Amino acid sequence: MKTNESAVDRIIRVVLGLALGSLVAFKVVTGVAAIVVGIAGGVVLLTGVVGFCAIYALFGMSTCKVAAEK
């Protein structure tokens, strides 16, 4: 798993993941929507922390300049 996300991409994903998690934690979203938002937030947060996006890899994309040059 090579990093395929730029630093900006990763920061946006971490912030978005934390925001979505906060919506669930503070019960702004409830029920089935909370489950969906919680899972989406967890996935976005995880990809931001790890720096690898499977969907990017599937389509051969990368926002990371170092990975794109190789």
Residue 42: exposed, middle, or buried by beta-carbon count in 10 A (0-12, 13-18, 19+)? middle
* Residue 61 pLDDT class (50, 70, 90 cuts): very high
User: What amino acid occupies position 35?
Assistant: I
Query: Is residue 46 in some structural domain?
Result: yes
Q: What is the dihedral of CA 65, 41, 16, 25, to 10 degrees?
A: -150
* Total of domains in the chain: 1
| Domain span holding position 63 | 7-69
Residue 56 token pair: 């990017």
Query: Is residue 41 in some structural domain?
Result: yes
From the centroid of its chain, how far is CA 13? 4
Query: Is residue 2 in some structural domain?
Result: no
Query: Is residue 26 in some structural domain?
Result: yes
**What pTM did the predictor assign?**
0.87
1-54 residue pLDDT tens: 889 999 999 999 999 999 999 999 999 999 999 999 999 999 999 999 999 999
7-18 residue pLDDT tens: 999 999 999 999
Residue pair 4/65 in contact (Cβ under 8 Å)? The answer is: no
Query: Is residue 1 in some structural domain?
Result: no
Query: Is residue 27 in some structural domain?
Result: yes
